[in-house]
Amino acid sequence: MSIPLKNNIIYGPVNSKRLGRSLGINILSTTEKICSFNCIYCQYGITKNSSGSFVSPEEVEEALSNFFANPIRIDYLTFSGNGEPTLHPEFDKIVKKVKNIRDKYAPSIPIALLSNSSNINNLSFKTLEMVDIKIFKLDCGSEELFLKINRPIINISLKEIIKGLKRASQKFPITIQTIFISFGEENNYEKKALKEYLLKIKEIKPAFIQIYSADRPVAQNNVNLISDEKLKELEKVIYKKSKSLTRAYLNVPCEIRFSKGK
Ligand code: SF4
């Protein structure tokens, strides 16, 4: 079971704990999901393509200009939508256009990017600098769990992603977004899995971490949410100096996004 795709370029605003009233910008397709991952918890169902009929930079420009012709209150402009925004072959051009429109109509509104990190090594730092809040996905610290949870449909390893995230984090503050789940007999938040994850976070040195559990519905039936209590414990491990099983104390500011309805 899955939720419907965004059928427009501009959608929302969506209420987000971190981003407030966030106006979504879907630069992928309005009819299909285009992603490099096939995460077991994806609300849009199974990924079939990592490429397809992307909307054009001019269509994005027009849609956003139309929004600002009759604006409503928003706190952020966020690249997100039906998959992985950075897969758009004209991502750089679109970011520039969105920044120009933002600068013209709403210079105080920050631009955010929600990315699954798979394309991090191909992104231009010049383009990323135009994005005020850079949020990248990291759900685990081992290749094995990466293949089980994110199930990439392109040729990419977690090692390459970590390398790219480290490089980006040395250049500017980045946020890491992590979803903690259990699936079958496994999970990505206990013992070895947690330790491996924390060690990777320690390497990347993000400015901020956002953790949450899956919202229903998800792509695969055996994926389970973790409790809010467990999320609070994980927050302590990441941020406060919890006497946890790992010595990889991070003290990175961390925020929980509780599951829907909380
Ligand atoms: S990266 Fe996002 S859109 Fe892509 S499969 Fe995972 S959850 Fe779905």
Give nearest CA residue, ligand 1 atom 6.
39
Q: Give domain status of residue 180, yes or no.
A: yes
CB of 36 closer than 6 angstroms to any ligand 1 atom: no
Q: Give domain status of residue 196, yes or no.
A: yes
* Residue 247 pLDDT: 44
Residue 131 belongs to what domain range? 10-257
The per-residue pLDDT for range 145-161, each reduced to its tens digit, is 999 999 999 999 999 99
Cis link prior to 71 (omega < 30° from 0)? no
Percent of the chain with pLDDT over 70: 91
The per-residue pLDDT for range 163-213, each reduced to its tens digit, is 999 999 999 999 999 999 999 999 999 999 999 999 999 999 999 999 988
Q: Give domain status of residue 3, yes or no.
A: no
pLDDT at 244 over 60: no
CB of 136 closer than 6 angstroms to any ligand 1 atom: no
Q: Give domain status of residue 118, yes or no.
A: yes
The answer to whether 74 touches 13, Cβ cutoff 8 Å, is yes
- Report the C-alpha gap between 245 and 156 in whole angstroms: 30
Q: Give domain status of residue 46, yes or no.
A: yes
pLDDT at 249 over 50: yes
Distance 42 CA to ligand 1 centre (A): 5
Task: State the closest ligand 1 atom to the C-alpha of 33, by its place in the atom list counted from 1.
Answer: 3
The answer to whether 172 touches 132, Cβ cutoff 8 Å, is no
Task: State the closest ligand 1 atom to the C-alpha of 36, by its place in the atom list counted from 1.
Answer: 4
Q: Give domain status of residue 262, yes or no.
A: no
Give nearest CA residue, ligand 1 atom 2.
83
How far apart are the two ends of the chain, measured CA to CA in Å?
A: 22
Q: How many domains does the chain have?
A: 1
Give nearest CA residue, ligand 1 atom 7.
42
CB of 44 closer than 6 angstroms to any ligand 1 atom: yes
Q: Is 52 exposed, middle or buried (0-12, 13-18, 19+ CB in 10 A)?
A: middle
Q: In testing the pocket of ligand 1, which one of 33, 37, 88, 177 has its CB within 8 Å of the most ligand atoms?
A: 37
- Report the C-alpha gap between 96 and 102 in whole angstroms: 10
Q: What is the CATH number of the domain that holds 249?
A: 3.20.20.70
The per-residue pLDDT for range 224-236, each reduced to its tens digit, is 888 889 998 898 8
The runs of H, that is alpha helices, within the chain are: 57-69, 91-105, 125-129, 143-149, 158-171, 191-204, 228-238
Q: Could you tell me the pTM of the whole model?
A: 0.93
- Report the C-alpha gap between 114 and 103 in whole angstroms: 20
List Cα–Cα distances, 238 to 133, 161, 244, in angstroms.
Answer: 20, 21, 10
Q: Give domain status of residue 1, yes or no.
A: no
Distance 142 CA to ligand 1 centre (A): 18
- Report the C-alpha gap between 67 and 89 in whole angstroms: 24
Angle, helix 191-204 to helix 228-238, in steps of 10 degrees = 50
Q: Give domain status of residue 2, yes or no.
A: no
Task: State the closest ligand 1 atom to the C-alpha of 47, by its place in the atom list counted from 1.
Answer: 5
Q: In testing the pocket of ligand 1, which one of 47, 48, 50 has its CB within 8 Å of the most ligand atoms?
A: 47
* Residue 257 pLDDT: 77
How many CB atoms are located within 10 Å of the residue 84 CB?
26
β-sheet bridge partners, residue 16: 20
